[in-house]
Homo-oligomer: A and B are copies of this chain.
Amino acid sequence: MDEKILRAAVVGAGYWGPNLARNFAASDHWELAAVCDLDADRAARVAGAHGGADVETSLAALLARDDISAVAIATPAGTHHSIAMAALRAGKHVVVEKPIADSASAADEMVAEAHARGLVLMTDHTFCYTPAVRKIRDLIAVGELGDILYIDSVRINLGLVQPDVDVFWDLAPHDLSIVDFVLPGGLRPVSVAAHGGDPLGTGRACVGYLFLPLASGAVVNVHVNWLSPTKIRRITIGGSRRTLVWDDLNPQQRLSVYDRGVNYEQIAADGEERRAATVSYRLGDTWSPALPEQEALGLMVAELADAITQARAPLTDGRAGRRVLGVLEAASASLASGTAFIPDPHRELELSA
């Protein structure tokens, strides 16, 4: 199996880098080759915790090495674009901590560069690799829920009022990346409406609502809130066949699939224009699938390895990161313009996979 082993370098040894390093080191698919940080001590502590990884303080030196397949970037968002572009130009596969970049146009360049070079560009949407979210994706993919009718996501708690970002940019990336992951074809809203409240006068929204109609007629809503004394992490996905509720704070029943719903049929009556509608209700069983205990980040690094080996896009590729960024930018524009919707936030590059 030694030939299959890929070698990774982690760039950035701050908050998230050590988690990435630990998961690369523990993986059957990977060897942790190096940890790179301007702060050599910090890099050394992370490298030392996992045996033989090298310490690098120069990005250029790191990228010049030919024993490294992939670079995982866990630096501040403002530096993602330049580091990722350098890594791609050096022929490395890249996984980037979210958000993939600090602007959609920067993300577009990264996606184009990776595409042109045939390299994997992945966004580390860690939540998508939790067993619950993977299960939701699978259930939707096989049609268990039927057509998606609506998605309502609530992510509220007493949170740190951030100095630099509002509650949309702080919390909604989680909801948006999950919705993007589970919807076949990704999250591509027709428009974006954002409403926010700043009742404490902090200069940025602390309470926020996002409304995202889809082309299918389905609607997505996201409620994020830093000022709630109770903590809720719940996504409801209504389907024509079944409805699913994910309650992340109920470890004893994280996923519930309800065979309850409204059946609505319009019947063209007797050849004429008149239409009759029949409404009926299903009040069936509830089912809560068992979920394995697995660390999301371990599955993420395995997916990166598989994508590289199989020369395919990973589940959360650069485009996914770009779509989420597009919605967030549109949300900010909606918020700034007061009332307007910003149409078409997903000017995604249409490149072949």
Contacts and interface: CB of A to CB of B under 8 A. Distances in A.
Interface stretch (A74-82, A91-99, A178-186, A212-220): A212-220
A229 B258 contact: yes
A179 to B, nearest CB: 14
A221 B198 contact: no
Nearest to A162: B279
Contact of A230 (B147, B161, B252, B285): B252
Nearest to A244: B229
Nearest to A339: B341
B238 A227 contact: yes
Contacts of A161: 262, 264, 279
Interface residues of A, number: 66
Interface in A159-198: 160-161, 163, 191, 193, 195-198
| Chain multiplicity (copies) | 4
A222 to B, nearest CB: 11
A211 interface: yes
Interface in A313-330: none
8 contacts: A147-B199, A158-B260, A191-B339, A193-B339, A195-B213, A229-B261, A285-B287, A339-B340
A126 to B, nearest CB: 22
Interface in A223-252: 223, 225-231, 236, 238, 240, 243, 245, 252
A281 interface: yes
A129 interface: no
